A and B are shown apart, each in its own frame.
Chain A
Amino acid sequence: ETVLTQSPGTLSLSPGERATLSCRASQSISGSYLAWYQHKPGQAPRLLIYGASSRATGIPDRFSGSGSGTDFTLTISRLEPEDFAVYYCQQYGRSPFTFGQGTKLEIQ
């Protein structure tokens, strides 16, 4: 099983700042099959990034993904008030298709 470790656990920033979220895998993820999701309380999760760096339909270009192998990053260039949420990475290169434990992005 591929274990995904996200850091930091909580990130406190202000609107307008840049956010950098990390996802590290216990083994190389084949095909860069790594996705990022945004989840707000009481709402359905939202796909942001797939294939490590491709934005999903309708996702603003302030969201970007990068990385390969075992190290991946989600960057939000300038935080908007609606971006404060929990973010999860997920690998889908090999079953079981595991999620990271999440990073909570909170308003400072």
Chain B
Amino acid sequence: EVQVVESGGGLVKPGGSLRLSCAASGFTFSGYSMNWVRQAPGKGLEWVASIGSSSGYIYYADSVKGRFTISRDNAKNSLYLQMNSLRAEDTAVYYCARGSEWVLGVSDHWGQGTLVTLSS
């Protein structure tokens, strides 16, 4: 069974940093692209970042470019999102999602999400 499980969320002050992790199982992690998507309270889904299967392709939303870094460790079946210079508007549930074997962006299996809250 395909599973992705996020961790690392929590309460952080504006300007601070946080690193989210996503543990994948039930599929050949190194064969798939991966995505981070978030949902702010009361808002819709917002795509955050995508990474290709071998990290050769990486894309970010303009709202996080230069502050967030997506990375992966295929040996550990893990995806990461390093978030720096956090702002109040980054408060959201962050979802890790398995992408496609062939294209970036689409997500076919999602985790339950991890909550990131910005507050001073």
Contact = CB atoms under 8 A, between A and B. Distances in A.
Partners in one complex: yes
Interface of A: 1, 31, 33, 35, 37, 39, 43-47, 50, 56-57, 86, 88, 90-92, 95-102
Contacts of A99: 37, 44-47
A92 B110 contact: no
A90 B113 contact: no
A72 to B, nearest CB: 14
Contacts of A96: 47, 59-62
A95 B110 contact: no
B112 A44 contact: yes
Interface residues of B, number: 25
Majority SS at the chain A contact face: loop
Contacts of A1: 62
Given A44-B112, A95-B50, 6 more contacts: A45-B37, A47-B106, A47-B109, A97-B59, A99-B45, A99-B46
B59 A95 contact: yes
Contacts of B110: 44-47
A80 to B, nearest CB: 21
